[in-house]
Amino acid sequence: MKIALLALLGLALGAIGGAALGIGAGLAWVEIFKTTDFESYSGMLVFFTFMPLGAAIGGIAGAVLFAVVAIRDTEIAIEREPVRHRDH
């Protein structure tokens, strides 16, 4: 359950971060390649192409990253040996 919840959290955070990076990449694309602004073509390019792509890639990456971290944490917890107390 912990793995699934962390994967969902990673999906949400990754989608938000990826959308923000997608907007940044889209704005950079518009400036570098001098995309026309006729009938707000450049705005539609950024918000209907780059933002959804960034959100999808970021969401998948975040979910995978958080799931891997959760799985590794579970493996480490299983492999740990209990601490033995010595009586003096």
Find out whether 47 and 19 touch, Cβ atoms under 8 Å. Answer: no
Burial class, 39, CB count within 10 angstroms (exposed 0-12 / middle 13-18 / buried 19+): exposed
According to DSSP, residue 80 is labeled P
Find out whether 45 and 26 touch, Cβ atoms under 8 Å. Answer: yes
pLDDT, mean of residues 77-87 = 64
pTM, rounded to two decimals = 0.78
What per-residue confidence (pLDDT) applies to 72? 83
pLDDT, mean of residues 9-38 = 96
Cα–Cα–Cα angle for 42, 45, 46, rounded to 5 degrees: 90
